[in-house]
Amino acid sequence: MTQSILVAEDSEETATLIKFSLEKAGFLVFVVPDGIAALDFILTTPPSLLITDLLMPGLNGFELMEELAKRQIRLKTIVLAVQKSDEDILRGLGHGALDFIQKPFSPREMVARVKGILARA
């Protein structure tokens, strides 16, 4: 069964790059432009993994992870950030993020990180 990935990213260019790279690696990829759309998607069609930007309209990445935690929805998550501060990393890990990827990023590295996380039990 093909694993599905939800990408919550408001930059169309970044979202397109992620979608192309992950689809090329054999994943089923869905893209939404903000945290509200991501939450709606997750509630109806839970993906295997979430990749979320931190800075988005509606719900930002942290707020999205907080909302998932409130609803007791456990979802493997990778956070995208332009700059990753220690505070952001600790906050993200506290909300269940398994990895942080700093923008700009290598598409090949992102695919490898996604595969690594999805291979974990």
- DSSP per residue, 64-88: HHHHHHHTT---EEEEEESS--HHH
Percent of the chain with pLDDT over 90: 78
How is residue 42 written in tokens?
């997750």
For residue 51, the tally of other CB atoms under 10 A from its CB is 27
Residue 67 token pair:
């909302």
Residue 82 pLDDT more than 90?
Answer: no
User: What pLDDT digit, counting tens, does each position of 10-58 carry?
Assistant: 999 999 999 999 999 999 999 999 999 999 999 999 999 999 999 999 8
pLDDT digits (tens, 9 = 90+) for 24-34: 999 999 999 99
Query: In sequence order, what are the beta bridge partners of 69?
Result: none
**Per-residue pLDDT at 99:** 92
| Tokens 């990935």 belong to residue | 5
Instruction: State the pTM of this model.
Output: 0.94
**Domain 4-119: top CATH class:** alpha beta
